[in-house]
Amino acid sequence: MHSNLEARERRPVRLGVAGAVLAFLTLAGLQALAVRPYLPPDELYHVGYAATVLDGRLPTLTSPLPAGGVPLGPADGQARRVYVANHPPLFYAVTAAPLWLGQRLGAPGVGFLAARLVSASLAALLAPGRPRVAVGAAWLAALLPSLPHVSAFVYNDGLGFLAATATLVAAVAVVRRGPALPSLAGLAAASAAAALTRAPGLALVVVAAAAAGGRPWPGWPSASGRLPSSTSSCSTSSR
């Protein structure tokens, strides 16, 4: 009976979160399809970073934009540099896959569009686990104009949002339930992804370390737990 009740309670939550994810993907997908390539500022340089990774190199701030590797790139002959090279490479390694596929198929435009859709889908992967919070937060993220907008383009914001949110969720789980091995593994993976996606993600490594060190490990006595025992032993010896 109890399990059936829980199943009935979960169903509307899943439907609510699924509806929010669908709304988010629809908004981001429409923008990815409708906005012409490289109209958004910086998209050209994010794609250039991914194209450089595809060549097996990590760019620097002075690296030239690989004009031959950027699908649908401008043909104005202007010298451009990968000035977004301050970011870590995880997002660009993910985005390089659809660009490579477009090159192999001889359809660079398809590869570019696939890179946009991959970027749009990354931010929609995570939803909180508590019923009301899950539905409310999912719809808030879906309908917040800036998040579907930036996630529709080849920007690292979508993966950065996913990794940062996952790190905070995992940190709260560790603080509330204690540092069990599965929760610590999830926290380490999420914070590493955040640090490898955007430069500000390095701050989340500090958050993860604080969460992991804020609770005693299973089987270890806490500092407050040691104090009474030492006090009682002293009082016993004094008697």
> What is the count of structural domains for the chain?
1
Tell me, what's the pLDDT at 144? 82
Q: What average pLDDT does the segment 64-72 reach?
A: 87
Q: Assess if residue 45 is contained within a domain.
A: yes
Residue 177 lies in a domain: no
Structural domain containing residue 63? 2-155
pLDDT tens sequence across 70-116: 998 888 878 899 999 999 999 999 999 999 999 888 898 899 999 99
Residue 108 maps to a domain: yes
pLDDT digits (tens, 9 = 90+) for 146-157: 888 889 999 999
In the chain, the percentage of residues whose pLDDT exceeds 70 is: 81
Mean pLDDT for all residues in the chain: 82
For residues 132 and 54, which has the higher predicted lDDT (pLDDT)?
Answer: 54
**Mean predicted confidence (pLDDT) in 168-195:** 91
User: In this predicted model, which residue has the larger pLDDT, 64 or 122?
Assistant: 64
With respect to residue 173, please indicate whether it lies within any of the assigned structural domains.
Answer: no
pLDDT at 221: 47
pTM of the full structure: 0.77
Tell me, yes or no, whether 53 lies in a domain: yes
Give the C-alpha separation, 188 to 191, whole Å. 5
Answer whether residue 223 shows pLDDT above 60: no
For 16-25, the pLDDT digits (tens) are 888 888 898 8
Confidence of residue 218 (pLDDT cuts 50, 70, 90): low
Q: Does residue 43 sit within a domain?
A: yes
Residue closest to 120 by CA, chosen among 90, 153, 71, 160: 153
Amino acid at site 100: W
Cα dihedral sign for 150, 151, 154, 158? positive
The pLDDT value recorded for residue 91 is: 95
For residue 6, the model assigns a pLDDT of 60
Is the confidence at residue 122, as pLDDT, over 60?
A: yes
Q: Bigger pLDDT: 8 or 145?
A: 145
- Classify residue 174: in a domain, yes or no: no
Q: What is the 3-state secondary structure (H, E, C) of the chain?
A: CHHHHHHHHHHHHHHHHHHHHHHHHHHHHHHHHHCCCCCCCCHHHHHHHHHHHHCCCCCCCCCECCHHHCCCCCCCCCCCECCCCCCCCHHHHHHHHHHHHHHHCCCHHHHHHHHHHHHHHHCCCCCCCCHHHHHHHHHHHHHCCHHHHHHCCCCCHHHHHHHHHHHHHHHHHHHHHCCCHHHHHHHHHHHHHHHCCCHHHHHHHHHHHHHHHCCCCCCCCCHHHHHHHHHHHHHHHHC
Count the residues in the chain. 239
Q: Report if residue 94 sits inside a domain.
A: yes
- The confidence score (pLDDT) of residue 38 equals 93
